[in-house]
Amino acid sequence: MKQSNRAPRSQQRGLSFISLVLVAALIVSTMVVTAQVVPTGIEYVAAKKAIERAKVGSTVLEVQQIFDRAAAIDDISSISGKDLDIRKVGDKVVVGFAYTREIHLVGPAYLVMKYSAQTN
């Protein structure tokens, strides 16, 4: 008699083609969302650095102008100098901001990220 070298189907291991397609779709969709989220995080970090630079201004207009110059250099488009919360606490100027970013996922689903920061 002839013996087969193939293991019975119940003992085989690995992914089926459909499982492979599903895993690949999951990986690709995660990468697409990540590729849209990372730039918003980079912009947030740049905005935090810009308000740290802008707090040296002594007037509201001066703080806004310093921020707008930094925003032009660092490509910050979500907020501008007019969107900043500028106040004086004691002898220090405190600058802050808050904004949201939405990323469309599919159909009516969105990923909403809320960013806020304030100088000390």
What are the pLDDT digits (tens) for 51-98? 999 999 989 999 999 999 999 999 999 999 999 999 999 999 999 999
Q: Which residue has the tokens 């013996």?
A: 3
The band of 13, judged by pLDDT with boundaries at 50, 70 and 90, is: confident
Residue 15: band (very low, low, confident or very high) from pLDDT cuts 50, 70, 90: confident
Break the chain into its structural domains and give their ranges.
18-118
**What region, left, alpha or beta, does residue 117 occupy, with left being phi > 0 and alpha being psi -120 to 50 degrees?**
beta
Report pLDDT for 41. Answer: 97
pLDDT band at 44 (very low <50, low <70, confident <90, very high): very high
pTM score, two decimals?
0.81
